[in-house]
Amino acid sequence: MNAMTRVGGFGLALAVLFGVSYVVGTTIGPSRDGDRSGGTDSHEISAAAGGVAGGGTDDLLDALRPGGLAISEGGYTFDPDELTWPAGRSRAYTFRIIGPDGRPLTAYTRAHEADLHLIVVRRDLTGYQHLHPTRNAAGTWSVPLRLAAPGVYRVFADFVPAVSGAGSHASDSSDSSDSSGSSDGAQASVTLGADVTVGGNLTPTALPAPSTTATVAGGYTVTMSGEADRREGSELAFVVARNGRPVTDLEEYLGALGHLVVLREGDLAYLHAHPLTRTPPPTAAASTAASTAASAGATATSAAAGDGDEDGDPALSFATRFPSAGSYRLFLDFRHAGQVRTAEFTMTVAEGGGVSTPGPVGTRPPQHTH
């Protein structure tokens, strides 16, 4: 029994959910005009919605829409084996990506050192996980998954079909001079989403207040600076500090020095972000600021190793586009001392303009985008 047949059994519940989604969408969701307002080109911003970006202006603007809102788009379908999950127990989550020919997809283009990235988060934007499943020859993916608390979780499958046409955010960063893992003429990424429900008494968690710093276990503090503006592309920079000192020896993670995921509150729209050139090491004053400031978040991919100062540059910069006013949750994954850690931020984008956050002392704007 495939996923679409099982979903049919939830018809009544889904009808209610669709009604709620409509209210949310009309409240904070992007209008078509809102999503098409932007002042940067396709190399500066990316919010893949699935399918293939064409050469026309309308196709390009459509490709800037956020992804992950549909289980099926652009000819591809997310086909999970389970729609419910036990609380607090780890077991294998299995699924397939069904291609335009109706068969499980087995041909992928590696992006950021993986054929597929699986992002899991509860609908109140808690319980974030970034997973990398394995695939068998028949096209079935599998990964151990543990969901600690009851609630409805969104599972995002972010991948690049090998048969896609021209687009962005595609090729493996280890095989391309473009540190973002994309290049002209490369395949377009696809992001599909499906829900999985954990039974039990749900205790929702309120979204944390916007902040420009995040505290991470192990003595780490991550400081964010930049501007979020729904009218044009946005640039964000992050500085990682440990025990008050900037970290200059971040280790590669997924072929880069970090990975950023941005999700919109309400519908959990999934945004892509491109890495920018890193900024020079901050001054002593910036070191102090990095350990005391407060931060807020969105999602993206960091600059690749070798882009910036050879001595180790503590700043990671990204470009993305916020398609509507509203609140967003940002998850920055980075690796240091052999362990991957996640810094989480909340950012609110106003209807009438952008939200600026202070830049660390001694930094300069990124010099170019990919």
pLDDT string in tens for the chain (370-residue length): 554 444 344 343 433 333 434 333 333 333 333 333 333 332 233 333 333 333 443 443 344 568 999 999 999 999 999 999 999 999 999 999 999 999 999 999 998 889 999 999 999 999 999 999 999 999 999 999 999 999 999 999 999 999 644 333 333 333 333 333 333 445 688 999 999 999 999 999 999 999 999 999 999 999 999 888 777 788 899 999 999 999 999 998 888 888 899 999 999 999 977 666 444 344 333 344 443 333 333 334 333 333 333 445 568 988 888 999 999 999 999 999 999 999 999 999 988 655 656 544 333 333 322 2
Do 184 and 308 fall within a single domain? no
Q: Flag whether 267 is in a domain.
A: yes
Do 268 and 230 fall within a single domain? yes
The answer, as to whether pTM is greater than 0.75, is no
Do 178 and 298 fall within a single domain? no
Q: Which pLDDT belongs to residue 43?
A: 28
Q: Which pLDDT belongs to residue 163?
A: 66
Query: For residues 221 and 273, what is the distance between their CA atoms, to the nearest angstrom?
Result: 22
Structure tokens at 202: 């749900």
Containing domain of residue 274, as a range? 212-357
Last residue of a domain, one of 175, 198, 221: 198
Do 193 and 321 fall within a single domain? no
Q: Which pLDDT belongs to residue 325?
A: 92
Structural domains in the chain (count): 2
Given phi > 0 = left and psi -120 to 50 = alpha, else beta, which region is 243?
A: left
Do 135 and 282 fall within a single domain? no
Do 234 and 171 fall within a single domain? no
Q: Flag whether 268 is in a domain.
A: yes
Order across the sheet with 140-146: list the strands: 72-73, 76-80, 90-98, 140-146, 134-135
Do 105 and 233 fall within a single domain? no
Residue 188's nearest CA partner among 162, 164, 157 is 164
Do 348 and 221 fall within a single domain? yes
Q: Flag whether 21 is in a domain.
A: no
Last residue of a domain, one of 144, 172, 198: 198
Structure tokens at 340: 């991957």
Do 193 and 48 fall within a single domain? yes
Do 173 and 271 fall within a single domain? no
